[in-house]
Amino acid sequence: MFKLATKEMGFSKVKYGLIGLILFLIASLVLIVSGLARGLSNDNIAALETMTVDDFYVSEDSENVLDQSGFLLEDLIAEVERGQGWEPLITQSLRLDHAENESKLAVTLIPVLPSDQLYPGVIEGEDLQANDQLNVVIDQTMKADGVSIGDTLHAEDLELYFTVIGFTENQTYRHAPVIYMSEEAFYVEEISPHKVANAVVLTESNEEVRKTISATLADGVWVNRSDIVDAVPGHSSEQMSLNMMIFFLIVISVFVLGAFFYILTIQKLNQFGVLKAIGAKNKFLIGTTLLQVCILTIISLTLAVLFTWFTSTILPEGMPFDFNLLNIAIYTGLMLIVSLLGALISSRRIIKVDPQQAMGRAE
């Protein structure tokens, strides 16, 4: 069976090569689009996704959008001390001037207690300290903008200068890198004279604290992290349109591959008739056909994965692309099933071939 399958493919190299090429192109497109979808998603919500907290208290009328939510914290601090199970979450968009190469950078500023779990820690450089120095640790994607440790970033609106002391990873939010600074340095006259926050998060599940927060801060609701993620502007619509593309690509490939394999089968009906006449069974003929499709698909998919990997290495630095093996395994598995389904459609024709047609017929 295997020998017959490979012999035929070897004999009709061009025919099978073309189908393999189409398969390769479709699979590459699926993989690259899904890599982009993941990359974009990361770019938009990674900072939220990597947070280890799950309970967010936001303003009732904010529609779960952090920027539209806000609380004054003085009353709450009077009720429950800091470090007793809750943390303020503050996100503030900033435009920074990079003195070294005169570029402007859009970032999201998140002030944290360096000892708290909202602070992700550095992968390079020094960690933040709980003091009022204007030190920041920034996401490593800013390296692509030419920022390095020791550089000074100027926030013109605030008339402040920040010093970069370390890099974090996977800390991006709303397509911009996140920069972390110490809370003590944030709640000062120049930046935020009042103790405010966009949201309050529970750092441990404590019913008592939860109730106190609800009672103290008016007009708020508790939501999950996934609600906050879904409400990040652009996230749902981006993911939806990209997933839609992937979905249609896969539907299209069912039809394209189905049609190809069908034509291939139709072309060979006479041969199948002869093979049946000399004693080959349906099982053997369908097995051979499916085996061919399997071989072709596996080769094409392997090449597509290599191509996607290659693409991910030559994409420009700032381009969000996530070459994720699990993701790729899922989509290649799906493509394999899709092409086998396409081939199965034509198996019906093989079963219906009448071996008698070989007799008394001139080709």
Partner 1 sequence: MRYPLETKQLTKRFKDGDDTIEVLNAVDFQLEQGSFTAVVGPSGSGKSTFLSIVGALLSADEGQLIVDGKDISTMKDQQLSDVRLKSMGFIFQSANLIPYLTVKDQLQLVATLNKQTKKQSLEKIKAMLDDVGLSHRINHYPHQLSGGEKQRVAIARAFINDPAVILADEPTANLDEERSKEIVALIKQEVKANNKAAIMVTHDESLLTYCDHVYEMDHGHLKQR
Contacting residues toward partner 1, per CB under 8 A? 3-4, 7-8, 10-12, 270-271, 274-281, 284, 355-356, 358-363
Q: Which is nearer to Mg ion, 10 or 360 (CB)?
A: 360
Residue 292 C-beta: closest distance to partner 1, Å = 11
Residue 355 C-beta: closest distance to partner 1, Å = 5
List, as one string, the DSSP characters of 219-276: SEEEEEHHHHHHHSTTHHHHHHHHHHHHHHHHHHHHHHHHHHHHHHHHHTHHHHHHHH
Give the one entry of Mg ion, partner 1, none that residue 318 binds, where binding means its C-beta sits below a cut-off of 5 to 8 angstroms depending on kind. none
Give the one entry of partner 1, Mg ion, none that residue 359 binds, where binding means its C-beta sits below a cut-off of 5 to 8 angstroms depending on kind. partner 1
Q: Which is nearer to partner 1, 20 or 39 (CB)?
A: 20
Q: Which of 318, 335, 329, 302 is nearest to 39 (CA)?
A: 318
Q: Which is nearer to partner 1, 10 or 318 (CB)?
A: 10
Q: Is 316 in the site for Mg ion (CB under 5 A)?
A: no
Residues 249/36, Cβ–Cβ less than 8 Å: no
Q: Which of 62, 37, 59 is nearest to 237 (CA)?
A: 37
Residue 102 DSSP label: T
Q: Is 360 in the site for Mg ion (CB under 5 A)?
A: yes
Q: Which is nearer to partner 1, 9 or 153 (CB)?
A: 9
**b or e along 257-281 (b: 16 or more beta carbons within 10 Å of the residue's beta carbon)?**
bbebbbebbeebeeebbbbbeeeee
Residue 312 C-beta: closest distance to partner 1, Å = 38
Residue 259 C-beta: closest distance to partner 1, Å = 22
Residue 271 C-beta: closest distance to partner 1, Å = 6
